Amino acid sequence: MRFSKTGYTPDQLLHLYKELITPRLIEEKMLILLRQGKISKWFSGIGQEAVSVGAVQALEADEYILPMHRNLGVFTGRNIPLNRLFAQFQGKLSGFTKGRDRSFHFGSKEHHIVGMISHLGPQMALADGIALANTLKEEQKATLVFTGDGASSEGDFHEALNVAAVWNLPVIFVIENNGYGLSTPSHEQFKFNSFLDKGPAYGIEAVQVDGNNILEVHRTISKLVKEVRKNPKPVIVEALTFRMRGHEEASGTKYVPKELMEHWAKKDPVENYEQYLLKNGVLTEQLIEEYKAEIKADIDTGLETAYAESLPEFKLETEVGDMFQPFEQEVKTPASESKSDKRFVDAISDGLKQSLERYDNLVVMGQDIGDYGGVFKITEGFIEKFGRERIRNTPLCESAIIGTGLGLCINGYKAVVEMQFADFVTCGFNQIVNNLAKIHYRWNQNADVVVRMPTGAGVGAGPFHSQSNEAWFFHTPGLKIVYPSNPYDAKGLLNAAIEEPNPYMFFEHKALYRSLSQEIPDDYYTIEVGKAAITQEGEDISIITYGMGVHWAKALSEELKEISIEVIDLRTLSPWDSETVAESVKKTNKALVLHEDTMIGGIGAEVSAWISEHLFEHLDAPVARIASLDTPVPFTKTLEENFLPIKRLKEKVIDLNSY
């Protein structure tokens, strides 16, 4: 291993040495504690320390870095107090996740660190969003994100690199190529020889470094950081290194050939750098002992403090309360009496436009939303008014764009992400249910992101453009879900969703876009989230529904004038308004839950179960449900009409009324 101290003062060389041995000494202690059963799991970075240390030392303290589970040197390099770090490892309250997540699965706003989730790839898109925010603020800052050779097989890797390249984002993608994804060797992960081959395909500069040479890593990344600050662009850095222990300690290393382990043992980053400094008279044995004694003392003190702390006590109000960033909604009323007739699609466009005017840090992203105005023309003319920086036409990559939205939020922005069709959200599902939904609960970082979801059948669009998939997200704690049925609610609830700094899934029925109009306020206004509306009063039966179901129920009420039907429009599905539902059912004593989604596992199952459990003594009949067939949405009109519950609704209401 060849080191070059050119350009470094002795103090700088010693600082890097001290930073390099700190994670090694901590790890050695952690391995002892693991054997003693004092920590539950450990992901070792022994052998790879030079990559983490070299990278973090090349950045300014206020530049974001996104590490993975072998990057202990990043956390120590950002001077995180060891007692808090050890408390995190032990699941203590003074850690960063209040005992809710383990080891390195955390972030810290104070230290400009964004932690990973177990799925490895998604954090790269967050880096894109953080870098985009810096670009929009015209700040000359770099963002650095780690990934591994194994994680490069994930689609998130491709999407994040592609977006960064297309948008010229100042992101440094450090790929720690340690030869294995758990036990799977690189030749079973990919066919190419080096990640240098990846750069040209994306139009990205790619460089390779000896990841065990602290000076080469630090020098290379320092140079690249300076470049991307002045000339924003993404860069790939392939750091060749090796993991000297198992994927995690229980895995062992039996799958690694002995000669390979011996080869890399000779390239140990700590030992080789230490010997180099000794030979060059920069370091002495006495200084080594002093440094190690100081660090070990800090480790012991930190451990003593962490061990003295009790495990967190369970408090229901805290666990539930931490799901979202605290927010007290103040309903905004229109500034004037001015009103005009607007279609459903125009109301959404109007709300989005006024929110963009209200929040200069709001960015809207989606496929074809730029010059084309979106497939439903909701953002038509927006580029001329707000510019291409805020109305961002995206590549076809739902996961990366949702992740970019979260990254924007981490760095001070709001984001609205349009799914071209709600069906396409499957490609970004992980970012929603594992990042947006959990991030505040995990480490107190909110997700100020609204995902717009053009949804629903009745337009002859077939199985992949017609699904009602709100129930997928209803089951996920940490998401708020809105599903308006009319233009007035659509505008007011969209404004409310954008206003609140928490993640929203906002469903818009495509069949209502141009078929329904209403006189609504021209000014900005919001509607109370979590409050249902009684759209029609009745005495005999309560129909609890939302979206298109509201119109089906009201149309049937007109037809069956002999039955007095009360129609409850939930409007907000999470949290849903059980109080209004209860008041209605107590009055009518009969309840029918209606939705366009398929029956099994739908939102109606939760609502009907709640009614049965809490209002049983008020019921004169079993709670009824009516929904679409448990099949995909068919294309042909005759099939689609019978897939939907419209024709079966009348019979169900008559049966329930006569019970």
Q: Looking at the annotation, which residues are catalytic? A: 465
Instruction: Give me the residues paired with residue 332 across strands.
Output: none
Radius of gyration over alpha carbons of the chain, in Å?
Answer: 28
Q: Write out the DSSP string of 292-310.
A: HHHHHHHHHHHHHHHHHSP
CA distance 626 to 610: 16
> Contact at 8 Å (CB) between 419 and 366?
yes
Count the neighbouring beta carbons within 10 Å of the beta carbon of residue 654. Answer: 13
CA distance 237 to 199: 10
Write down how long the chain is.
659
Q: Write out the DSSP string of 126-148.
A: HHHHHHHHHHHTT----EEEEEE
DSSP 8-state class, residue 636? S
Is the torsion defined by CA of 362, 365, 371, 375 positive or negative?
A: negative
Which residue shows structure tokens 């929040």? Answer: 359
CA distance 18 to 274: 10
Sorted by sequence, the CB contacts under 8 Å of residue 579 that are 6+ apart come out as none
Instruction: Give me the residues paired with residue 353 across strands.
Output: none
The tokens for 17 are 């040495």
Q: Write out the DSSP string of 78-125.
A: TT--HHHHHHHHTT-TTSSSTTSS-TT---BTTTTB----TTSSTHHH
- Hey, which bits of 377-509 come out as E strands? 391-393, 414-418, 449-455, 480-482, 504-509
Instruction: Give me the residues paired with residue 508 across strands.
Output: 454
Q: In angstroms, what CA-CA distances link 400 with 26, 123, 433, 437, 549?
A: 35, 9, 14, 16, 33
